Structure formats: C-alpha cells, structure tokens
Amino acid sequence: MDNDDDSTSAKTKDGTSIRQIAVFLPNRPGAFVSILDLLKSNHVVVLGLSVQDSIDNTVVRLVVSDPETVETVFIEKGIPFNSTDLVVVELRDGAEQMPACLRTLLNAETNIHFIYPLLTQPNGKAALALCVEDNQFGDSILSKAGFRVLRQEDLSR
C-alpha cells in the first residue's frame, strides 16, 4: 500500500475531501468483478471510476461511498492500492459547463493530472473528479469562479 496523504482525507469547515482509491489488478478476466463483489459485500457503492489498462496490469481508480472501509478491507486482504484526495466539481448545467470548468483551471495555470466523470449524479447534476497539482488551489479557484466543489459528505448520503 502506498498512500499519498496518510490515508485520511483533508477535513475543512466545508467537509471532508473526496478520496480516490486506486487499486492495482492483474490483467485477467474477473479481476475487477471480484473487487466489485468485495466492495458490495462490505456495503460500499462505487460512485465513479476510471480504468487504465495495460498488457500486464490494470489500474482502477475509484470514488466510493466509504473510502475508509475500502482501505481497511484492502489492507486486510492484501490488495495493493493507493489513495489520494481529489477535487470533485459539480456541473450545474451538465456537460456544457465542462469547458468553463477546465478553462478556469487553465487560466489559473494549474495542471490536471487526470479527470473522469462520476457514475452517479449528486444532487441530480453531473460531476467531474479531477486530480490537480494542488487540490487546495484548485478548490479555491473553482469555488471563486462559482463552481460547487463537492465533499465526501455530498456523495455518501
């Protein structure tokens, strides 16, 4: 296990940062399904995901309803993973608002390492998970531009 931020998400007056769990799987049939079954048996819902596949391995990035439970289960089962906080931004007007969101970060000259949509729609609105070079800065810039930055409590209701 290699945690970027000591396995606890940053807590602010607005709530807890959303933590992504990246799980490293062998590239073989059923590997991802077994992870999904394990999460389901522990009452964890996958809210967002991104899959990066290669010949030998697959990296599955997950936003889940209960990251603490996932980390505990993965440690107990010896499943290699990494966790990192993300900036998750709500898109009030759906996908049409995505260019404005990304332009806000571009104008602030901050790098986006990766991005993916959530599977669920918190508050009935689209949302993007972003890994940026400085989460506090990204959060601040997006908030000042009028975007709502979500917290774990917004997803785990």
Per residue in 76-86, pLDDT tens?
999 999 999 99
**Average pLDDT of the segment spanning 142-153:** 95
Closest of 70, 81, 20 to residue 49, by C-alpha: 20
pLDDT at 2: 44
Would you state the CATH architecture of domain 17-84?
2-Layer Sandwich (3.30)
Q: Quick one: what percent of the chain has pLDDT higher than 70?
A: 91
pLDDT at 11: 65
Give the pLDDT band (50/70/90) at residue 8.
low
Going from N- to C-terminal start, the domains of the chain cover 17-84, 86-155
With a CB cutoff of 8 Å and minimum separation 6, the contacts of 105 are: 112, 130, 132, 138, 141, 142
CATH of 86-155, one of 1.10.10.10, 1.10.8.640, 3.20.20.70, 3.30.70.260: 3.30.70.260
**Average pLDDT of the segment spanning 12-37:** 90
What is the average pLDDT value for the chain, to the nearest integer? 89
